[in-house]
Amino acid sequence: MSISYKASFIIIFLIAATAVYLNLYNGRELARNYEKNRIEILALRDFAREIRPRGVWFDLRLDGALVETFRAESADKNQTADFIRVDKQTSVQEPLRILGWDEQTFGELKAKLKSANVIGVRIWDNEAFGGERKTTIYYRDDGFGVAYYEIFDDASDEILRGDKEAGCDDRFHSDGVALLYGGGATVGFMCVNKDGKNIKRR
C-alpha cells in the first residue's frame, strides 16, 4: 500500500468518523441542553416573539459575545438588511433599524441567548415550514451542520405529530419542541428516541 493511498484512507476514515460522532453527539447534547435550560429557552422564545414587530422577520446568530450574522426583512420585502461579521461593508444597525430595536432591547435578547446556552434565534415567514407558528432557536454550529430547536405554538402541529409517530421521545412534545440537525457532511436527524439515539427525518 503506497504512502499516498494510506494517507487518503486515513483522511477519509477520520472525516467519516468525525461526521458520525458529531451526528450522534449533537442529538443527545441538543436534548440534554433543552432539559437543562427549558425555562430559559421558552423565555427566549416568548421574548423574541414579543419584540418582533408585526410583518417583520429576523434571523440572528452569535459567536460568543459577537454578532456573527443578523438579518431582518419586512413582509412586503421593501426593507431588508443583512449583517455579516466578516463583511466590513455591512452594519448591525441596519437590521436593528428595520426591527425598531434600541440597544437595550438588543442587549436583552443577547443576554437571553446566553442564559439559554444557545447561539441564535429566528422567526421567519415560511408557510411551508410553519411560518409565524414557530420559532427556531439555534443551539450549535459545529462546521458540519447546525443543531437547533423548532418550537411550535401548537403541540398538535402536523410536524410534531409526525415526530411522535416516528418514535421521537415525547418529553419535548408538550412544549411543541422538535429537535433538528441538518447540513454538510453529517446525516440530519429530527429528534432523539427514549434511548437518546437519533431518528432521521424521512
For residue 64, is it left (φ>0), alpha (ψ between -120 and 50) or beta? left
CA 125 to CA 73: how far, in whole Å? 10
pLDDT score recorded for residue 88: 84
CA 141 to CA 63: how far, in whole Å? 10
Residue 37 identity: N
* Contact call for residues 190 and 168 (beta carbons, < 8 A): yes
The per-residue b/e assignment along 78-97, b for 16 or more CB within 10 angstroms, e otherwise, is ebebebeeeeeebebebbbe
* Contact call for residues 95 and 49 (beta carbons, < 8 A): no
Q: Pick from 151, 135, 180: which is nearest to 31 by CA?
A: 180
- DSSP H stretches of helix in 71-157: 93-99, 103-115
Give, for all 202 residues of the chain, the pLDDT tens digit.
Answer: 555 667 666 666 555 555 554 454 557 888 889 999 999 999 999 999 999 998 899 999 999 989 999 999 988 888 899 999 988 888 999 999 999 999 999 999 999 999 999 999 999 875 444 455 789 999 998 777 888 998 988 766 666 667 667 777 767 777 888 888 877 555 566 677 777 677 765 5
* Contact call for residues 8 and 163 (beta carbons, < 8 A): no
DSSP state of 100: T
pLDDT score recorded for residue 9: 64
pLDDT score recorded for residue 5: 66
Q: Pick from 171, 174, 101, 180: which is nearest to 136 by CA?
A: 180
pLDDT score recorded for residue 45: 96
* Contact call for residues 196 and 27 (beta carbons, < 8 A): yes
If one counts the domains in the chain, the total is 1
Query: Which residues constitute the domain of residue 74?
Result: 5-201
pLDDT score recorded for residue 130: 46
